Amino acid sequence: MKFDIPAGAAHILQTLTNAGYEAWLVGGCVRDLLRGVPPHDWDICTSARPEQTEACFAGHKIIETGLKHGTVTVVEGGEPYEITTYRTEGPYSDSRRPDFVRFVPDLKEDLARRDFTMNAVALGLDGTLQDPFGGAEDIQSGLIRCVGKPAHRFQEDGLRVMRALRFASVFRCRIEEQTAQAVHHSRAMLKRVAAERIHAELGKLLTGPAAGEVLRQYPDVLCVFWPQLGPLTAMEQNNPWHCWGGWEHTVRAVEAAPAQLTLRLAMLLHDIGKPSCRSTDNNGIDHFYGHPGLSAKMADRMLRALKFENSLRRRVVTLVEYHDVLLSAQDKTIRRWLGRLGPETFFQLLEVKRADILGQAPEKLGSRLDELAEIRARVEQMTAEGQCLTLKELAVNGRDIIAAGARPGPEVGRVLAALLDRVLDEEAPNQRAALLELARRELQRGR
């Protein structure tokens, strides 16, 4: 088979081969070539020891950060290439990283330490494929299968549990039966994996095209690091809006949201507080009063626990908190929400509400989607017209308010907020002179 290999990677393979060593493209990049999608990085493995690799690339920029694990990074044509000596791994006593690595003479041994058959493939410069575990066939039939005994491989490294789910979602693959059983059985190994590594995999999983299918089949895995999901995965809801249980509604809402991490996380967590807010009325209908507020609090804690970045966390929590608010296409209402959230978050809130509706009983959709579309169109128009929306766009600022007689400090914010309110309600024009006059009056009133 012939594949497109970039000049930089080809040069590295050729240099190592010319020096008498074996050298192969390996892992994810070969998998992607076999799937017919362009790889995003090119890993190389070689029979050369790290110091021998360094000697081969004496004139190049070399980064030594991975040296302990046998990896030399060579920069060629501005691109970094990781070149790793054939190796196996020692035991994972902390289930995070191997205690040691051992260099081995044989490519096959190196391939055997890799997680899934689809990732245990190597490609030579001449187009020779090394595939001792049937990876190409599994790629063809869309199967994720462990190299070796699944239970053993997940016991070695719990992160592989999440990698299996991530690949299933991103590549729309099935997890082979034995591997799938071991995923369920070994899921507790994830407790020993660092939060950052779990959240990186979870992010890819949630934005993958088969995220919904994976969430449906493996809620137990997510419950290991987010036990708060447990009650939701088991919750029925007797309510005319909902023909699905809590988890199926959540999964459908995730599927209906655009594949952006913020939105997908918001949908995954939007109803997380529902089980604790449930009450049943005399007609046997369930209500969940106050669930958005509780969901937001829980989401905040859950996202912190997995060490998601602060700005992402805050955005998700805001979306969860407001996912159930009543919006209307009235300019006044829209302006208030735009003022409170800013256009970017408000547009995301519209996406969240849309996904939430699409996750409910289809016969109850009614005109709710049309209403949202109307609101959206109006917001687009208002933002395009540059109507005054937030404090930033107000024709006066904090310094002006102080010049008008306010004491520096909270008073300034209070006056600015009052002015913005008046402008949003169209009771005052967004003009400097008029607003300064209003500010003076506001200051007199407040004293």
Q: Which is nearer to Mg ion, 119 or 250 (CB)?
A: 119
Nearer to ligand ATP, 96 or 364 (CB): 96
Mask of contacts with ligand ATP, 107-136, x by CB under 6 A? -------xx---x-----------------
Cβ-Cβ contacts under 8 Å for 346 (sequence gap 6 or more): 337, 338, 379
Smallest gap, in angstroms, from Cβ of residue 30 to ligand ATP? 8
At closest approach, how far in Å is the CB of 344 from ligand ATP?
A: 28
DSSP strand pairing (143-144 vs 122-123) = unpaired
Instruction: Give the x-and-dash track for 18-37 against ligand ATP (CB under 6 A).
Output: ---------xx---------
List strand residue ranges (DSSP E) for 51-140, in order. Answer: 61-63, 71-76, 79-85, 87-89, 101-103, 122-123, 129-130
Nearer to Mg ion, 29 or 298 (CB): 29
Of 22-30, 69-77, 150-158, 375-383: span binding Mg ion (CB under 5 A): 22-30
Residue from 6, 28, 80, 203 binding Mg ion (CB under 5 A): 28
SS3 at position 82:
strand
- CB 127 → Mg ion: shortest distance, Å? 21
119 binds, among Mg ion, ligand ATP, none (CB under 5 to 8 A by kind): ligand ATP
What DSSP letter does each residue of 383-423 carry, written as one string?
Answer: HHTT---SGGGSSS-HHHHHHTTPPTTHHHHHHHHHHHHHH
Q: Name which of ligand ATP, Mg ion, none residue 273 binds, using a CB cut-off of 5 to 8 Å depending on partner kind.
A: none
Rg (CA), the chain: 28
Tell which residue, 242, 168, 234, has the closest CA to residue 202. 168
How many residues of this chain interact with Mg ion, rule: CB under 5 A?
A: 1
Q: Is 226 left (phi over 0), alpha (psi -120 to 50) or beta?
A: beta
Residue 114 interacting partner from Mg ion, ligand ATP, none (CB closer than 5 to 8 Å by kind): ligand ATP
Kindly indicate which of the ranges 25-33, 79-87, 290-298, 401-409 contains the residues binding Mg ion, using the contact rule CB under 5 A: 25-33
Min. distance of Cβ 147 from ligand ATP in angstroms? 8
Return d(Cα 5, Cα 112) in angstroms, integer: 24
In angstroms, give the least distance from the CB of 110 to ligand ATP.
Answer: 9
For ligand ATP, the binding residues in 63-102 under the rule CB under 6 A are none
CB 375 within 8 A of CB 383: no
| Whole-number Å distance between alpha carbons of 53 and 49 | 6
Residues 143-182 touching ligand ATP, rule: CB under 6 A, are 157, 159-160, 163
- Residue closer to ligand ATP, measured from CB, 63 or 369: 63
Interface with ligand ATP in residues 38-57 (CB under 6 A): 43
Q: Which residue in the shown chain puts its C-beta closest to Mg ion?
A: 28
| Category of 374 on φ-ψ map: left (φ > 0), alpha (ψ -120 to 50) or beta | alpha
Report the alpha-carbon distance of residue 67 to residue 225 in Å, rounded. Answer: 32
Task: Give the strand order in the sheet containing 122-123.
Answer: 61-63, 71-76, 79-85, 43-46, 23-26, 122-123, 129-130
x/- letters, 98..117, toward Mg ion (CB under 5 A)? --------------------
Pick the closer one to ligand ATP by CB: 115 or 255: 115
Residue number with CB closer to ligand ATP (163 or 323): 163
SS3 430: coil
E-assigned strand segments in 122-270? 122-123, 129-130, 143-144, 174-175
Supply the minimum distance, in Å, between the C-beta of residue 410 and ligand ATP. 48
DSSP 3-state of 4: coil
Q: How far is residue 300's CA from residue 306's CA, in Å, rounded to a whole number?
A: 10
- Minimum CB separation of residue 48 from ligand ATP in Å reads 18
Q: In this complex, which beta carbon is closest to Mg ion, that of residue 41 or of residue 370?
A: 41
Smallest gap from residue 3 Cβ to ligand ATP (A): 16
Report the candidate in 113, 175, 182, 174 with the shortest Cα–Cα distance to residue 154.
Answer: 182
Least distance (Å) from ligand ATP to the CB of residue 159?
Answer: 5
- One DSSP character per residue, 235-303 reads ----BTTBSS-HHHHHHHHHHHS-S-HHHHHHHHHTTTTHHHH-EE-TTS-EE-TTHHHHHHHHHHHHH
Minimum distance from CB of 68 to ligand ATP (Å)?
16
The site that binds ligand ATP (CB under 6 A) totals a number of residues, namely: 10
Q: Contact positions toward ligand ATP, by CB under 6 A?
A: 27-28, 43, 114-115, 119, 157, 159-160, 163
Which residues of the chain form contacts with Mg ion (CB under 5 A)? 28
